Amino acid sequence: MGSGGAGPVADLSDRDLLALHVAGDDQAFAELFRRHKDRMWAVALRTVRDPELAADCVQDGFIAAFRRADSFRGDAAVTTWLHRIVVNACLDRLRRRRPTAELPEYELADRHDHHASTEVRLDIQEALAALPEGQRAALVLVDMHAVPVAEAALILGVAEGTIKSRCARGRAALAQHLGLTPGARPVEAH
């Protein structure tokens, strides 16, 4: 429960919870964690594609957010601020792990030929691994996690135009690597 008649902590906004945390409330950050852990887990998993590494990234991100809560300026939503911290934790872990992290398989639309779909997933995995980190992060957020361009820009700390160009260059590189013309779809086996 919150203090001073504010009602249950669960009834407060994210901004209010962060302010209470900064002021020393010992329950406020726990509520923020409860609200956002699943979404941050999904972002981390999509970014690093390794459940153990994703768990470490989420932990790193929330510890950083806990410690740096007083740095929240309020110019973005708390969720966007948390996304940025967790994605940065992911990128930091990937950099420490190896220069170009191995990316496990990405899910694709259902295909009739399992063998062919496995080959396509492996080809996409290889193509994603070859992308520069900035392009890969932008594509994972925008194309694979459906984060709006404006929010992805805030998360990665770059301009919206940068996200758009990173996505466009990344898509073109993926298409070239996969032997597709940009905008074309792989031919389905019948």
* Same-domain status, 98 and 113: no
Residue ending a domain, choose from 81, 102, 123: 102
More confident residue, 7 or 143: 143
Decide if pLDDT at 184 tops 80. Answer: no
Q: What is the CATH number of the domain that holds 135?
A: 1.10.10.10
C-alpha neighbours within 13 Å on the C-beta side of residue 119: 9
What pLDDT, on the 0 to 100 scale, is given for residue 69?
Answer: 93
Looking at the fold, whether 131 and 97 belong to one and the same domain comes out as: no
Q: Could you list the residue range(s) of the whole structural domain that residue 121 is in? A: 108-190
CA atoms within 13 A on the CB side of 115: 1
Render pLDDT for 44-76 as a digit per residue (tens, 0 to 9): 888 887 899 999 999 999 999 999 999 888 878
119: confidence class by pLDDT, cuts 50, 70, 90: low
The answer to whether residues 123 and 178 belong to one domain is yes
51 against 115, higher pLDDT? 51
Of 102, 117, 140, which one is at a domain's C-terminal end?
A: 102
Q: What is the dihedral of CA 165, 92, 18, 9, to 10 degrees?
A: 110
Q: What is the pTM of this model?
A: 0.58
Distance of alpha carbon 2 from the chain centroid: 31
Same domain for 93 and 121: no
> Of 102, 122, 147, which residue sits at a domain end?
102
The angle at the Cα of 100, spanning 96 to 102, to the nearest 5 degrees, equals 100
Structural domain total, the chain: 2
Averaged over 147-167, what is the pLDDT? 89
- Please check whether residues 112 and 32 belong to one and the same domain: no
Does 169 lie in the same domain as 115?
yes
CA 163 to CA 153: how far, in whole Å? 6
Domain CATH for 91: 1.10.1740.10
